[in-house]
Structure 1
Amino acid sequence: MDIGWKIVSTVGGLAAGFLAKQVVEQGWKFATGHNAPDEDDFESNLVEIVVFSVVAGATRTVIHNLVMRKANQVYGRGAKSVSD
């Protein structure tokens, strides 16, 4: 067990989540002109909530993958998979 990689991957995952949240919220506001749907807002349009969820999930997955690939390169794990 490589504790250094565990720390790097955890920090990378947290950073990716934060970055994805910022990108999606700002992108949503730019594209629609209003704030992203809030989980406590029961007045939002269901279609808008579904579209936002799909966009947010896809964005988070892509950013997380890119961050983990870069962390993998920087950390020096070479060709090993990120899940090792």
Structure 2
Amino acid sequence: MADKGDIGWRVMAGAAAFAGGFVAKKVITLAWKKSTGKEPPTNPESPDVALTEALGWAVVMGVGMEIARLLATRAAARQWAKGTGELPSHFKTDA
């Protein structure tokens, strides 16, 4: 069974990842509009969307969301360490 610190970390990391993903989607969508001059595809799987546009959107969104998740989790881990005095257990290394 997970201890309270583990549960607290999971809640904090989940909230940070959610917030980071929300902001990232808005930023990526705005950047797409600015660079292409049109809205991003709402359904990239549709045959009506050009393959290059669908692939471009998938790559940009996938990379952007993963970067946002990574940065949000790292920031949450730093805040966790400030509050508890140590990183969550799965961040520790045996170096």
TM-score class normalised by the smaller sequence: 0.7 to 0.9
CA offset at residue 78 of structure 1? Answer: 3.1
Match 2:55 to one of 35, 50, 56: 50
- The number of equivalent residue pairs is 82
1:66 is matched with 71
- Structure 1 Cα separation of the partners of residues 71 and 65 of structure 2: 10
Partner residue, 2:27: 23
State the SS of the aligned residue for 2:91. coil
SS of alignment partner, residue 62 of structure 1:
helix
Report the CA distance between 1:52 and its aligned residue.
0.8
TM (norm. structure 2) is: 0.76
**Among candidates 11, 14, 27, match of residue 15 of structure 2:** 11
Deviation at 1:5, TM superposition (A): 0.4
Q: Equivalent residue for 1:81? A: 91
Max Rg structure: 2
CA–CA distance in structure 1, aligned partners of residues 19 and 41 of structure 2: 22
Question: 2: distance between equivalents of 1:42 and 1:30?
Answer: 24
Alignment-mate amino acid for residue 66 of structure 1: L
Q: CA deviation at 1:19?
A: 1.3
Deviations 1:5-61 (A, max 9, x none): 011011011112111111111000000011001117542211101011001100111
Q: Which runs of 5+ in 2 are unaligned?
A: none
Calculate the TM-score normalised by the size of structure 1: 0.85
Give the secondary structure class of the aligned counterpart of 2:49.
coil
